[in-house]
Every structure is written in C-alpha cells, then in structure tokens.
Structure 1
Amino acid sequence: MATLSRTLIALLALGACAALIDDALDVIRLGKEIGEEVLNSWDIVGKSFNASGGVELPIIKRKERVILSKLAQVSRAIQRLELGVEKTAAVAELLAKSGGRGARLELRLHEMADLLSRVSSANRQMREYVSIQQELEPSTLQDFAEWCVSHDPGALPGLLERVHSLVVPPHTHLLGRGILQLVLDDIQEQSQDLCELQMSPHQLIYDMYNTIALTEIKGYAMMQFSWILLKIYGKGNYTEEASLTRQRYAERTEKTAAAAKAALAMSKRGVYRCDPAQHKEGETFAQVTRLLQGYIENEVDMNTDGTCRDNCAYYSLAERKGCFKELYCAKQRPCNGRILNCQYIDSDMWVCPAGRNSNRRYEWIEYENGRTLGRAGQCTLGTTKVDSWWRWLFWHCSYCMCLCDENTHESDRYFSLIDATSDVKNNKVVTGLRIAKVGRVFHLQISEGVLGERGAVTPSGWVPVVKFDPADVGVAETDYHTLTYEQRAIDLDELDSPKGHVLTGVRWRMIGAHLHFEIRSTPFNYTTGRLAPDRSQWISNDNTEGAEQPRKRLELYKPDVPTRSAAPMPVDSTHDQYVEFVNSDFEADAAQTTVPFLDVQPVEPMKGASLASGAGVVHRGSRGSGGFVSVKLFTYDYSPHVRADPPPQHEPDFVPLPVIN
C-alpha cells in the first residue's frame, strides 16, 4: 500500500492542476500556440542562405539563437501550466490513503509515473540548455536533439508511445482498459476516502488527462525543435520527418481526448466532507439544542387538579402545572415548554444529573427493574433516588419519561432564510459551501472566486454571513425558521445547474413544514468566462409528502450521539428525501441530545480555485447513529470542453540547407 501511495503521489505531482492555470492557458490552447510557433520556426530556417563547407557561418549561429529564443518562449508557456504541481501532489497524498488497489492498476501507475518522470526530466534538461545556450558547445545541443528524435525505445519518441499505450492500449482484448478508466473504477469504489480528496473523481480524471496532454505537448515541442536544430546544423532537411511527428502527435492526442471524455462521462462530480480525525464542536460539527429532550415528570404535576387519575400515556401533549410537595420536581431544571409523548417505564429509579453548564439534563437513569437509559457509570454530582407513590390506595402517581420541547434562550434551533449569493456583478461564482453556526442561528455560507477564461477561477475568500439574533429588535420572522415539534424536517436534495450554467448562490426557504434547499444558477460563456447575471435562476426540487410520488423520509434507527461512533459515516441519503430532527435513543442516551448534528466543515474544492455547478444537502450516517446533516458541491462538467486540436496543417516551403562538414 505504501509503495502504491508513493506511485500515485509521483504520478500526479508530474502534472499540472487545470484549476490553477495562469492566464487561462489550458492544454488545448497551449498545443495550438506551440503548433503555430513550430511553423513560424520552420519558416525561419526555411529561407536559403549561402554557406561555405567547413566554416561556421554567423547566420547559422544567428538562426540558432532565434530558434532557441522561440523554444524558450514555448518553455515558459509550458511552465505556466505547471503551477499546480504542489497542490496536485497534496491531492495525491489524500488519494493515496484509500489504498488496497489491484496489482494491475498498481503496475500501470508505476510505469506511468516512471515514463512521465523521464519526459519531465528531459524537458528540464532542455530548459537548462536554453538558458545557457551561449556557453554550450554545438555538439551538446546536437546530441540532445538527436536523442529527442531517436528510434531507440528509451528515447523521447518511445517514451511518448509507451505513455499513450497506457492510456489507449493498442490491443484492448489483451491489455484491457486504459489507465484513466482503471483509476476511475478504483476511486469510485473507495467511497469512504473520496470525501477526503476535496476533489471530485471528475476533477481527478480531468487533471490526469491534462497531465498526460501536457506531457504530449512537451514531447512534441522538443521533437519539432530538435528537427529544426538538426536542420540548422546541416544534418539534413527533415521536412518529412517533422510532418510525420506532427501527424503522430495529432493521432495520439485525439485518442487520448476520446479516452478522457469517456471516463469523464462516467465519473462522479460530487464533493463532500467525511468524518475528521477528531470531532470538535464548533470546528467540525454543531448541534441543535433542547429541541426534543428526555425529561422526567410526575403525572401529578402535569394537570391543574394535581391528580393521578390517568396514566403516563395520557399526557401526549402537556405542560408543567406545578411541583407537588417540592419533590423531585424541585431538584431538576423544569421544562418551560411543551411536554410530549410521555411513557411509563418503571416506578422507581436512580437519576444521575448533568452539570449546570451542560445541554443535557441527565447523564443516565437506572430503573429498579434493571433497565438503564444512557451510559451508566460514575456520577460526578451523585445520584438521586426518585420513587413514584400511591395515593389513597387507588391512584398511582407515576414518574413518566417524556420529551421536552423548550424554546428558551438556551435552545439553538434557528435557521437563516437569507440568500447566500456570490457577487455576480463582479463576475464572481460560488467556490465553497459550509453550514455556519453564528450565535443561535445556522447559516449557509459560501466562498466565492472570480471566474476567468475557460473555467479558471481566482479565489476571493468566504463571504460573511448576515448575523442576527431572533430576539433582536427589528429582525423579521421571515428571515429565519424556528424548529418545533411540528416543523423540524429538513429536505435532502442534490441539485445541479443546466448545461452552460454555474453555481452563484444557495439558500433555505420554507415549503410547508420543511426547511427546503435551493441553488442559484447563472449562465456563462466558457471561452470568455463572462457571467450573465440578469438570466440567473433559482433551482429547487419542490416535491412534498403530498405529491403523487411523495418525498421519502430517511428513518433514523435508534439514533445515538453521532460523535460516539467509531465507524465511518458515509452519505446514506438520496435525492428527494427528508430527515427530521429527533431526540437521541432512550436506551443509548436517555434521549438527551437532538440529532442529527450539523457538519460545519467547509466543502471547498481546490481551496476555492474550482468551478462548481451545483450543491446539495445530504445526510451522513449509519445504523444506530443520528449522523450529520452535511452540504455537498458538484464540480463543473469539463467533458464538453475536452478535445484535441491538431497542429496547423500548413506546410512551409522548405529550402534544403547545405550540409556543413
């Protein structure tokens, strides 16, 4: 596993991340520009001049300098596409954590890493020669140029052909599928580790394609300029050889682009966060507090007459009416709200109270019949014996286990309904998303970036949320939603923009009793990067429980506190579901916690330098856990923009140069 991890790191570190391309240069444009520079260079050396055998003419040195100057320009353009090396390597480290890959893929990754390393090393050598050209002997450049076009399998043309055979195997019935498809199959199976990438499988395949395409460009530039230099040095005409080089380059890049488009079409574009190494409230998660919480109350205190004529089940909706003889009711925090769904468990119990600053009322409860609610153990504040009693031999005044819905200043249950949008007037798009808890209010918060040409994004940072407290004067009730027993559902949807649109906003709004998620989508021109703000639209899935095909509820089975789980929490929801905030399980936690928790980790692919087209609200969880409500982003679909533009077809009117002895 360690060996394979190093291979993945080495492989992706050799390439460049398309999301960080400077000046909006991508491999398609770069390939076209280099093709034009090659033609211009052939035009320079194609002009005839007089030469004397055995004499180094000044014009030869002058043309050499001009060609090497053009080669330097090409090298600088290639270097601009290598700015993402460090970031891509970091992504590779995350990818390598998944481990467990098959031997076939491991061997091919090893071979690909080795081949790309060799081409990259030759390219660095070429740059060094160009930078010190005046200090080099002509034979040094000539030897390098001859290696770049040699028929030796270990020379540059052979390396490029071997790279291509890994992407597009010449005999698929013998060699199987290409490396892009194998990597895609593998990473999409490793679902537990994908969220750590902060890079969708689609992005990964797209960046691998750019790595390979950039390698082809490097090789093509080195080979063409080698033919030109050899011609300058009088070794031959090489017109036909250069033409064959161009044709083979065009064939390889076309097939590589086709393989990439096929893999991209099948790749997932979702990005989300999974469990951190350690859960920290306020940093990785937040929680709704005291929405529904286990609460002990005697039936005598839930009616105005102070009687015990009914039973616990009778009190499905009640309030605290008094405190009979200052018994246990005087020793605990009262429920200053609605008391719901009471049940009788046993007459007598020992109660371990929670600390004064805790959101809990009880740490655990142990009944005389042996049943325990919560995790019994040491009790810091000491246990309290609570006993039911008989009145006049006829009525049993029972202690009931109920739920308390208490909307006080200690209850955090508010969700902002204010739009979170990017500054489209200044051509900014959404690049990240998170749930932020500010005071007692949960907000959707976005990061934004400036959209440039051909999908390039320059990060701008996180957009501050509109802070408020529901108790503040002047705050409109339409600006927030308050969770209650009747209105505690949150819709789980995964929304994407139409083709040619990008993500520019998110919001929550109310549909009936459900907190509902929506995205804002804005059309844009991929070539220029310009947004069309006036054509923005809000997109949602307005399905309800009363529809012909109703939205389905995600059931939480005996949900414990999610941070207690040692097992990973994968996304277990699907589009068009909803989940309700509920109390934790009585047996596991004495119903003291409101679940699910909210995952507040930021989802920001490539640290805000990635283009997004959609977003969603999902649930991560497993059986027996309350799980987390999380956000998700969908990276932009680059597959329509993957193509291979062949080099220019114009053949200059070459004039053979004399051989110089």
Structure 2
Amino acid sequence: MTVRACTFLLLIAFAHAFIDEAVDVIKLGKEIGEEVLNSWDLLGKPLNISGGVDLPVIKRRERIVLAKLDRISRMIERLELGIEKNSAVAMLLAKTGRGARLELRLHEMADLLSRVASADRQMREYVRLQKELERTTLEDFAQWCVSHDPGALPGLLERVHALIAPPHKHLLGRGILNLVLDDLQEEHPDLCELQLSPHQLIYDMYNTISLTEIKGYAMMQFSWMLLRIYGKGNFTQEASLTRQRYGERTSRTAAAARAALAMARRDLYRCDPPQHKLGETYEEVTRLLQGYIENEVDMNSDNTCRENCAYYTLAEHHTCFKEQFCAQQAVCKGRIIDCNYIDSDMWVCRAGKNSNRRYEWIEYENGRTLGKPGSCPRGTTKVDSWWKWNLLHCSYCMCLCEDDIGSSERTFSLREANADFDNNKVVTGLRLVKHGRVFHLQISEGTLGERGSITPGSWVPLQKFDITDSGIRDGIDYHTMSYEKRAIDLDELDSPTGYILTGVRFRMIGAHLHFEIRSTPFNYTTGRLSPARSQWISNDNTEGAEVPRSRLELFRPDIPTRSATPLPVDSKHDQYLEFTHSDFEADAAQSTVPFVDIQPLEPMKGSALISGAGIIHRGTRGSGGFIAAKLFTYNYSRHIKAESPPAFVEADVEKDLVLPVSNF
C-alpha cells in the first residue's frame, strides 16, 4: 500500500478524539450550521461596489466574517488538539492483503481527504494573517472554494461522497465502508493488538469523513460571504443550495455508516503476544491435576502389592516404602487419581526445585516417552519396579495428583468488580490477574460524559485477600478448583439497548465457575447513569437444561505457549470447558491447561464505551489454549444521524453591526 493510502488511514485514527471529547461531529455540525446562519444575519444587504462603497465598510464586514470563521476553525481544532496521531490503523490495514477494488478506493480517498485538509490549513493561515493579506488573495481562495471546476473544493467533496455512497452502484460497486467492513470481518490479529473492534474502526471512518464535510461546508459558506462582501453578487440562493447539498450528502453518509455499523462486529479480545511471558502475558493454574509417579505399595495402608495400578482410581499417599523413588520427589499431599501401568522401569528427568512441574520428561524401558526428552540439568533418575517376597510385583504407576491447596494455585475470587457508578463511572477495560494464589477479575474505569464520551481513568484496585485470612469463606469469597469442580462457563454477554457495562463477577452455578456482567441504564445525550436500575446479566444455562450447555473438549492438549501458530478463538457462547492436565505424551501431564491470559484489554486506552464482556477460550486441536477476557464495544449505529443546518432568510435591511473582540 502506498504512502497516500496510509495517509488516509492515518486520518481514520484521528477520529479517536471524537470519542474522547464531549462534542462529537453530529453536534459540531449543528453548532457550525448555527454559526453560519448567524454570520449571514450579521452581513445584511449585499454591497454594490460599483456604487462606491467606502473601504472601511468592506474591511469591517470582512473582519466580521473572518472572525466568525476563526471561531469555527477553533471549534474544529478543539477536537483535533487531543488527537493522538498514531499510525496504528494505517499499519493495520497497510500490511494486510486486500482486493484491488478496495485498495484503489483507499488511494483515491487518501488523495481527496488530503486536498481538503490542505485547503483547511490554508484557510486557517489566511485567517491568522488577514491584516497582511491583499483582498485579491482572499477573493481568489473564496472563488476556488465555490468553483465548478472538478478539482475545486465542491468537486472534492462530491468525489468523497461518491466513494461512500456510489451514485450508480451497478457501475461503481459498493461503498468504501462496506468494502472495509468485508476486509475487517475476518480474523484480524492486528485489531487485537490495537484493541480496536471493527465497529469502532467503521465509526472512526464515519467521523473522519463527517469532519471533512463540516470543514468543506464552513469554507464554502464563508467563501460565499466574502464574495458577497466584495460585491461579486448576492449569493443567497447559492448559499442555500450549498446548505441543501451538504444536508443530502451527510444524510446519505449517515445511512451508509448505520448500515455498515449494524453489520460490523463489536467484540474485542487480545491475541497471542509476540512472546509469551509468565507473569506478564499469562498465568497458570497449578497442580490441579498433574502427572505423578507412585508405587502401588505406597497407596495403601498395608504396604501391599496385591492389586494393580488400575485398581487405584482414587487413593492417597500413605508411606514411602524403604525410602525408594518416593523419597526423591515431592509427594502428593492430596488425592491420587486414575492410575495406570505403562512399564516397569524408566528414566525420570526431575524438574528444578522451584518449578511447579515434577518432571521434565520420562522415558520408559520399552521406548515410550512422556514429555520431550533432551538435556536434564539434574541428571536422570533410574526408577525400577520390584518384586516383593518374589511373589507380588510392586509396580510404579502413572497417576494424576490433585495436590493440596497449600501446594497449588487454583483459586478464583467471587467478589464483584464494579466501577464507581454512583459517581458516573463505567467499565473501560477488563483483565484476569493473579494476586498471591488467587485469580481475580479486574476492571478499569472512566467517567462517562455527554454523547458517549469517556474520560479515561485507571485500573480499579483489587479486593485482595488470601484464603487463609480470617472471615474469608470458600464458596462465598472464592472458589477453589477440584477434580469435581473444575468447569468454567464460556459466555459472551451484552447489555440491553440503553445500558452500559459497569461491573463483572464470577459466581458458582453448581460445579461451574460462572461469569456475569452488571449493566446500568444511561442517557446517551447527557451521559448520566441510573445506578438504581442497575442489573446483573448472565446466561444461567446448565448441562441439565432442555437445551444443555455444550462442552468444549480439549484434545490431547499440549502447553499453549509451544504453539507455532497464533491461537484463534475456538469457543462459542453457551459452552464450558474443564481445566485439566496437559497431554501425557506431549508434556508428561505436568501442566494444568488452559493457561490464563492476563493481557489487559482496554479499548482505545480506556476511552471507549463498553457495553458487554465475556470469557472465551483461544486454542486449537492439540493445544491447551488460553482462557481470556472479551469485551463488546458500544453500538453507535442508532446514534448516527444527519442534521441539516438551519435555513436562513435574506435580511431586507442592513443591521447595526457590533464587532466581536478581535483576536489579532
């Protein structure tokens, strides 16, 4: 993609400011329309230069128009000042392959918006230097702003509009918003990194194009005024036609934007980072179910070997008979589950003392291996089964250990994470974090303003606790995963129309860790919340329902950080999965999967309106994947509308002019 196309996409990123500001493009267009109307009212009757009008009268009216134009320029500039000129969106669309049709239109749009932006900058410079400029300079610029030449301002605006709403669809095809939407609807890893939903991107494009229309309308109207001052004509009808055509274009652009926004996905989540880092991008549930070598003689109180490994479906460690291999490893302090016999003798590579693993890999004498054999820093340990009294074979079994809670990290907080909605704050971000041995849901909050604007805040401090603290109760304050209670529900929840996200929490439904969101109604225009009408929303479906919640199976799951390709979202709403051990062959069942993605999810750095959230799984066949958070950005489509500027009536007599305070 060329620099000019990237320039257009940079302009798309500029629209982020509108969400941060209290005044959006719709309101700005209305205000500027009123300013234009007031300016025409102030001008009064047209001057007749041939009749010998004094120069001071011309200069006085010129000053009025330019002062008004300066005021409008500052209104537009106020929105642009807070814009972060980030090339992220340009990078996103520039490095992704797309059809020739879309690329050509992006090239053309880049060129057109650049020309309008250049004219706007020139206009601001003329306003700033008005005392030093000759009248002919302003007159020539005004003539260009209303010229019928295709390369003049009106022609540029019409060509921009034709890209949004083609006048002859059977010849020119679909509009650029729909083409961009098609390109974004597929899996888009860069949107994950930018933390921008397709819906937000389309909304930003609409804002950028609308601002261009506003700039063009202001320049054209004030050009008619200047030409009227210079005695070139009345131009009342021309100004009225300009207003009418502006209204038609903005109305059709709004309709195209609403249609695209209605189809655009609003979900947002994080993808795989460039490099997985424990404690920074992910955390692990540890020793919930872990591969564990135990001799059958140590799993019964009689120290006998009368049974076989399969007999021990549920057992515990009783003793360490004759200080054999059991004395060289950390014993299972909890339950021993689902034992199996693989082979009598083996070489075991034990993990480091500070590792949550017990073994790096195991190689049996029959050639079977568990894990990935290789170097072994601690040296391999030979482990051989034996005969007791030459009558009973005491076999080493491969089992699962559900360790005691003191040796594992598998606790989830059930405490609510709420924004300070009493002070008009809403959720702006979400992440899963681990503090101590407890996993928490953490939110960021921002202050809600008029018309969906958000003033970014910060991450809300966790309600920290340890499960050993006084007064902390299992099932009330926290849930500890166990063999029987290790399911987590995968749901994607959105607020009803007119509501916004103000909180999240986990709660237990049977044996399932269940996710819920808190939604609060708000007034979009004023930005005021109604906390008294707040409600919790959840999908309370269970496996026993008439249409039961479906299970997401993990097939022979390896450690997710070993995946050579990015892990896509493979879960659907109304599913669940169970935390389990990693695959025996791939990892000797040493890890608990899925891992927990702790990357912060904060759209547009905490300045986006969020309506929903969810818990999802990113993974693929043969990988344990990640449990992760998802957010839904607010649906702006119903707020997209065009308001035509107010009509004006020609004044019959010149009014008593009151000059505004000069800024020069």
TM-score, shorter chain, exceeding 0.5: yes
- Is contact 1:457–1:609 with CA below 8 Å preserved after alignment? yes
Deviations 1:304-356 (A, max 9, x none): 11111111111010001111111111111111110001011111100000010
Equivalent in the alignment of 1:65: 63
Separation of aligned partners in 2, 1:298 and 1:486: 25
Partners of 2:349 and 2:7 in 1: how far apart? 52
Q: Indicate the residue corresponding to 2:400 in structure 1.
A: 403
Match of 2:383 in 1: 386
The change in CA–CA distance for 1:171 and 1:196 in structure 2 (over 3 A counts) is same
**1:34-73, aligned counterparts within 5 Å?**
34-47=32-45, 53=51, 56-73=54-71
Within-5 A mapping of 1:172-571: 172-477=169-474, 478-571=476-569
Is residue 123 of structure 1 aligned with residue 120 of structure 2? yes
Which secondary structure does the structure 1 equivalent of 2:14 belong to?
coil
Is the 2:4–2:107 contact (alpha carbons within 8 Å) kept by the matching residues of 1?
A: no
Query: What is the CA–CA distance in structure 2 between the aligned matches of 1:229 and 1:23, rounded to whole Å?
Result: 31
Q: How many residues align?
A: 654
Q: What is the rounded CA distance, in whole Å, between the counterparts of 2:19 and 2:491 in structure 1?
A: 32
Query: Who is 1:590 aligned against?
Result: 588
CA distance in 1, matches of 2:82, 2:209: 14
Separation of aligned partners in 1, 2:350 and 2:172 = 67
Q: Give CA-to-partner distance per residue, 1:243-272, whole Å, 9 cap, x none.
A: 111111111111110000000000000111
After superposition, what is the alpha-carbon deviation per residue over 1:493-538, rounded to whole angstroms, capped at 9, x for unaligned? 0000000000000000000000000000000000000000000000
**For residues 65-114 of structure 1, what are the alpha-carbon distances to aligned partners after superposition, in whole Å with 9 as ceiling and x for unaligned?**
011111011111111232454355333334444x1111111111011011
Query: Counterpart in 2 of 1:12?
Result: 10
Matching residue of 1:603: 601
Structure 2: how far apart are the matches of 1:87 and 1:542?
Answer: 44
Offset, 1:474: 2.7
Question: Are the counterparts in 2 of residues 239 and 654 from structure 1 also a CA contact under 8 Å?
Answer: no
Query: C-alpha deviations, 1:95-147, integer Å up to 9, x for none?
Result: 444x1111111111011011001000100110111111111111110010000
CA shift for structure 1 position 476: 2.6
**What is the match of residue 624 of structure 2?**
626
In structure 1, how many angstroms separate the alpha carbons of the residues matched to 2:461 and 2:340? Answer: 45
Residue pair 2:549, 2:574 contacting (<8 A) in 1 also: yes
Aligned to 1:169: 166
**1:644 alignment partner, one of 642, 645, 660:** 642
Distance in 2 (CA, whole Å) between partners of 1:491 and 1:9 is 44
CA contact under 8 A between 1:19 and 1:457: conserved in structure 2?
no
Residue 662 of structure 2: aligned partner: none
CA distance in 1, matches of 2:46, 2:255: 41
Equivalent position amino acid for 1:506 in 2: V
Change (3 A) 1:87 1:474: farther
- Hey, what does 1:580 align to over in structure 2? 578
From the superposition, tell whether residues 633 and 70 of structure 1 become closer, same or farther in structure 2 (CA, over 3 Å): same
Contact 1:12/1:208 (8 A) holds in 2? no
TM-aligned CA distance change 1:386 to 1:23, over 3 Å: closer
Unaligned runs of 5+ in 1: none
Gaps of 5+ in 2: 656-664
Distance 2:47 2:558 in 1: 86
Secondary structure at the counterpart of residue 134 of structure 1: coil
Alignment RMSD:
1.7
1:578 is matched by which residue type in structure 2?
Y
Q: Which residue of 2 aligns with 1:26?
A: 24
Give, in angstroms, the shift of residue 30 of structure 1.
1.1
Describe the shift of the 1:168–1:5 C-alpha distance in structure 2 as closer, same or farther (beyond 3 A): same
In 2, Cα distance between equivalents of 1:187 and 1:560: 31
User: How far apart are the structure 2 equivalents of 1:372 and 1:69?
Assistant: 82
1:46 Cα deviation after fit: 2.0
CA, structure 1 residues 157+67, in 2 after alignment: closer, same or farther (shift >3 Å)?
A: same
Could you tell me whether the CA contact under 8 Å between 1:570 and 1:622 is conserved in 2?
A: yes
Q: Distance in 1 between matches of 2:259 and 2:94?
A: 24
Match of 2:155 among 145, 154, 158: 158
Q: 1:656 Cα deviation (Å)?
A: 10
CA distance in 1, matches of 2:293, 2:638: 61
SS in 1 for 2:407: coil
Q: In the alignment, residue 625 of structure 1 is paired with which amino acid?
A: S
| Partners of 1:72 and 1:130 within 8 A in 2 | yes
Q: Secondary structure at the match of 1:237?
A: coil
SS in 2 for 1:81: helix
Per-residue Cα deviation, 1:263-301 (whole angstroms, up to 9, x for no partner): 000000011100001111111001111111100001111
Percentage of pairs with the same residue? 72
How far, CA to CA, are the matches of 1:375 and 1:18 in structure 2? 48
Question: Secondary structure of the residue that 1:133 maps to in structure 2?
Answer: coil
AA in 2 matched with 1:319: E
What residue is the counterpart of 2:659 in the other structure? none
The C-alpha deviation readout for 1:528-554, integer Å capped at 9, x for no partner, is 000000000000000011111111111
Q: Output the CA distance in 2 between the equivalents of 1:379 and 1:291.
A: 25
Q: 1:475 to 1:96 in 2, by over 3 A?
A: farther
1:353-388 per-residue CA deviation (whole Å, 9 max, x = no partner) reads 001011110000000111100010111111011111
CA contact (8 A) 2:46 2:234 kept: no
CA distance in 1 between partners of 2:136 and 2:13 (Å)? 31
TM-score (normalised: structure 2): 0.96
Whether the 8 Å contact between 1:545 and 1:552 is mirrored in structure 2 is yes
Q: 1:148 to 1:568 in 2, by over 3 A?
A: same
Contact (CA 8 Å) 2:601, 2:629: kept in 1 or not? yes
